[in-house]
Amino acid sequence: MKRIVICLACVLSFMVGGFIFSSFQVQQPVQAQAVLAQTPIVNPSPVPKDLNAVWNPLAIAGIQSGNGIVRFGKAENFPLLQDTTVARVDVQPGASRTPHWHNSWELQICLNGKAKTFLVDKNGNKYEGQLEPGLVSFVPEGWLHWFENNGNTPVAMMFAWPSENVQTFELAQAASRVTPKVLSQSLGIPEQKINGELRLVVP
């Protein structure tokens, strides 16, 4: 009698365990299918295999201005770039990138040397920070900004903007449209010192 009870218990245990295991096995692919059904399928655009994944800014001719030089990376010289512009800027000691702003945000990365970066928000609040190799600064869209090489060696900076057609608005160009008298009164600068000279990089 005991053997019959034990065997019956074993059979019931096996049946219950088999039912639980079978339920688990059946439910898993159903849940997986539900998740897959909700996941959008993204087909990446084909990329030619002969494109270079690395861009060397020093391999292209730069734009010299004053005590600095800028080299832009865009789709025409770095085809893998998508809706992005990058640039390397080298500035000599004591020189600066003059104040300007963009129609997009800007990412600043210091490669070597030292530079002090300045930002002014739309409410006139000023922010500043010291950049050294490996440090990063972020400039929100429309903020006035500039940087100065305050080290003893040339500084190399890398910049990135989320647009192939990023626009730059120079403070000097905007100021040059204002009459010297009004500009003198606004900035507290003697009128005879305002000559309207425009340069990308100034000492």
Domain containing 111 — which CATH number? 2.60.120.10
Residue at 193 is within a domain? no
In a domain, 37, yes or no: no
- Domain that includes residue 112, residue range: 62-171
Predicted local distance difference test score (pLDDT) of residue 84: 94
Residue given tokens 């990023």 in the structure block: 166
Which CA distances in Å does 177 have to 30, 188, 191, 194? 68, 17, 14, 12
pLDDT per residue of the chain (203 residues) written in tens, 0 to 9 = 444 444 434 443 444 444 333 333 434 444 434 444 455 555 555 555 667 889 999 999 899 988 899 999 998 899 888 899 999 999 999 999 989 999 999 999 999 999 999 999 999 999 999 999 999 999 999 999 999 999 999 999 999 999 999 999 998 888 777 777 777 777 677 776 665 443 333 32
Asked, for residue 156, whether it belongs to a domain, the answer is yes
Q: How many residues does the chain have?
A: 203
Give the pLDDT confidence score for residue 108 in this predicted structure: 98
Q: Cα–Cα distance between 203 and 91 in angstroms, integer? A: 10
Q: Name the pTM for this structure.
A: 0.66
Residue 143 lies in a domain: yes
User: Is 89 part of a structural domain of the chain?
Assistant: yes
The predicted structure's pLDDT at residue 47: 55
